Amino acid sequence: MLSRAAEDQLRSLAPLVLGTLVRRYGQFESCEDAVQEALLAAAVQWPAQGVPSNPRGWLLAVATRRLTDAWRSESARRERERSECVRDTAPAADERAPGDADDSCCCSSSAAIRRSRRRRRWR
């Protein structure tokens, strides 16, 4: 169990870490979830291992990793869905007439995904 001083420290650091993440990445809800997960990790690890020398840096590092993991997971999920959509809707090569365009449901969405990835990188 965390000491009262460690709890107070977490309460005071949480808004600072959240503000830093939101300034860096701009997605409040995702950042808030990542900070909550970092606070939970601190509540579990700090009583056993002690409070780190730089608790704000520790929380920021853990929250950033959790945020990155969540984005990777979401990206992988979208990619799986896209490939399932293409596989399920695209006719086999021998079923298409020569010159037919592939008008499966994901052609336009894959271009939209690429555009959104480019936009996200430049934020």
Kindly list the domain boundaries of the chain, sorted by start residue: 4-90+104-121
CA distances to 17, 42, 51, 79, 102 from 76, rounded to whole Å, are 27, 28, 34, 5, 23
Alpha carbons 49 and 70: distance in angstroms, whole number? 26
Rg (CA), the chain: 22
CA distances to 55, 74, 87, 96, 106 from 90, rounded to whole Å, are 52, 24, 6, 9, 9
The tens place of each residue's pLDDT in the chain, 123 residues long, gives 778 988 999 999 999 999 999 999 999 999 999 999 999 999 999 999 999 999 999 999 999 999 999 999 988 888 888 887 776 665 555 565 555 555 555 455 555 665 555 555 544
Alpha carbons 11 and 77: distance in angstroms, whole number? 33
Alpha carbons 28 and 86: distance in angstroms, whole number? 32
What is the reported pLDDT for 123?
47
Question: What sign does the CA torsion over 20, 21, 24, 26 have?
Answer: negative
What is the reported pLDDT for 31?
95
Amino acid at 96: R
